[in-house]
Amino acid sequence: MKRNYTLIPLCLVLLAFIACSNNTKKASDDTEATAKNVVNVPQFNADSAYQYVKAQVDFGPRVPNTKAHVDCGNYLADKLTEFGAKVTSQYVDLPAYTGTLLKARNIIGSYKPDTKKRIALFSHWDSRPWADADPDAKKHYTPILGANDGASGVGVLLEIARHLQKQLPEMGIDIVFRIAGIGILVAVACQLLKQTGRDDIAMLTALAGLVIVLTMVIGLIATLFGNVRSVFELY
């Protein structure tokens, strides 16, 4: 009987050793698996993005056909080049309702331009010619600085571009700074109509502009979902 009591503790020690060994191996395997799945996520710097916004605003209102518009466009193209993108500029003359040709420019910064699977990030970089929503009616016909409406989106994309220079994803990326041409034309037309007392026609003009934009957006959304399905091989 005494021998049996001696064997029981020995068996318990052996079982404990085996259990600890298995737990150690499992912990080691879990650690190794976790290490393989670690993704280095870039840290967005809000202060950096703010500086890009400030740099744009310092040029003044970026309305087409102005020096500020030209200078800011060159600044954006230079920053994308500095951040390692292949930069392409699209120049186009957009006719205004007055017949004036607006010298517009789209700026595209491409990463991995030869890669077929791509993501496009858009923001318009021009600013509105009139502050028609300002509480002070005297300012309704003055250009706005556009810190929020235009510069903020561009600032965020420039901060993204700064990170892309350091860490490129597997797919290609296009950062597109475009002109909000339709918005400018509709705003100008509405202000002119309101000035002449034709508020009802101004409202119809705004609605027509909205319909045009929605038509374009629906097409873009359809293209986006098609690209997402292709990228993630969804059927």
Residue-level pLDDT, tens digit, the chain, 235 residues: 444 445 455 444 444 545 555 555 555 555 555 556 676 778 889 999 999 999 999 999 999 999 999 999 999 999 999 999 999 998 888 777 677 888 889 899 999 988 888 888 888 899 888 888 888 888 888 898 998 888 999 999 999 999 999 888 888 899 989 877 555 456 545 654 564 566 777 777 777 776 776 776 677 677 767 766 776 665 5
pTM as predicted: 0.64
Domain 46-180 CATH (choose: 3.20.20.220, 2.160.20.10, 3.50.50.60, 3.40.630.10): 3.40.630.10
pLDDT of residue 45: 92
Token pair for residue 26? 């499992």
Structure tokens at 125: 């970089």
Task: Give the pLDDT of residue 12.
Answer: 46
Predicted confidence at residue 198, as pLDDT, reads 66
pLDDT of residue 203: 77
Q: How far apart are CA 14 and CA 19, in angstroms?
A: 9
Alpha-carbon span 162 to 159, nearest angstrom = 5
Distances (CA, A) of 82 to 51, 54, 77, 166: 16, 18, 9, 12
For position 49, what pLDDT does the model report?
93
The answer to whether the CB of 89 falls within 8 A of the CB of 106 is yes
Element of type H or E holding 56: helix 46-57
Residues 20 and 12: beta-carbon distance below 8 Å: no
Is residue 68 within 8 Å of 62, Cβ to Cβ? Answer: yes
Cβ(51)–Cβ(159) below 8 Å: no
Residue tagged 């490129």 (tokens): 168
Q: Enumerate the domain spans of the chain.
A: 46-180
